Amino acid sequence: MTSTPVTRAVVIGCGHYLPENVVPNAAFTKTLDTSDEWIVSRSGIERRHMAAKGENTSHLASHAARAALTHAGIEADTLDAIIVATSTPDMTFPSVATMVQSDIEAFSAYAFDVQAVCAGFVYALANANALIVSGQAKRVLVIGAETFSRIMDWSDRGTCVLFGDGAGALILEAQDGDGTATDRGILATDLNADGRQRDVLYVDGGVSSTGTAGFLRMQGKEVFRHAIEKLAQTAETALTKAGLESDQIDWIVPHQANLRIIQGTAKKLGLTMDRVIVTVQDHGNTSAASIPLALSVGVERGQIKRGDLIVTEAIGGGLAWGAVVLRW
């Protein structure tokens, strides 16, 4: 096989943070006509974490960032860039990424947020990869952090039981590869969007429309209908770009929205569930935080190991969706 030396964005550390307060499904039965049985059977979710009053997205993000720095064994001032994927920033501006930069004292890093809702981390990873491959950064901290509890309509049983708060972080570093799929690092990315579908999942407020943060609104069945097909398609496209087949995957690390979507996508890719990292039962849907959370938990559990071939895939409001193929 011929090979050409290339720069790869390689994961050198990961970490996560979950707010202390754990809310079991049973808590919702006090105020809503719902049940643990309904929530578990439709979504796989058993509990979720919720941020305390005054605990904002940047706080969760900074905790996850510090954990990733410790895991990587590097200092914050060696970072060149910080990207935070979030749809629930502390404020309209400045970005959460600049708040994290200040918290962790990473003053050599430029910093910005990416907003692609539940696909946010996949979009952020693809952007970090582009910065590294094009020589604009050598070390990039990529965080997914959300406080979706702040945009829940607590009277809407079709949405409020599904989401949670949390943060996860990866540190990517430029390393030399030989240009083949045996390299460690990001091997391929695939990003997609279809703004014609923006009404199936959205927040009914915003700075330039209502002047309020708004509440999440979702046509659950419609989202479900799009999800499995689009997720399997983007994962397959990314694999093809990397010159790989689905049977070479060690782990799928999907966006953790719903166990039935995770199972359906794995099946469509021809993979059994023992090759899927699942955390949705404990975290609920943490939007852009769910993939880095699942990666970090997967490492902590001893499932993900150096050299493993990983496919991440996510879909969310927009619709926006995508996949990243990487070797850990």
- Residues taking part in catalysis: 118, 255, 285
What is the DSSP-derived secondary structure letter of residue 240?
H
- How many residues contact ligand COA, by CB under 6 A? 19
290-300 vs 57-72: helix crossing angle, rounded to 10: 40
Count other C-beta atoms under 10 Å from residue 256's C-beta. Answer: 31
Residue 78 as a binder of ligand COA (CB under 6 A): the answer is no
β-bridge partners, 226: none
Stretch that binds ligand COA, among 121-129, 171-179, 254-262, 320-328 (CB under 6 A): 254-262
Q: Which of 12, 16, 17, 43 binds ligand COA (CB under 6 A)?
A: 43
Query: Closest distance between ligand COA and the C-beta of residue 223, in Å?
Result: 4
Q: How far is CA 203 from CA 30, 81, 115, 298, in A?
A: 25, 29, 13, 31
Q: Which of 157, 226, 268, 275 binds ligand COA (CB under 6 A)?
A: 157
Residue 285 as a binder of ligand COA (CB under 6 A): the answer is yes
Residue 112 as a binder of ligand COA (CB under 6 A): the answer is no
Token pair 């279809």 in the structure block, residue: 194
* Binding string, residues 183-222; x marks residues near ligand COA by CB under 6 A: -----------------------------------x-xx-
Residue 161 as a binder of ligand COA (CB under 6 A): the answer is yes
The residue among 178, 83, 175, 68 whose CA lies nearest residue 126 is 83
Cα(215)–Cα(218) distance, integer angstroms: 10
Count other C-beta atoms under 10 Å from residue 31's C-beta. Answer: 11
Q: Which residues bind ligand COA (CB under 6 A)?
A: 34, 38-39, 42-43, 118, 157-158, 161, 218, 220-221, 223-224, 257-258, 261, 285, 316
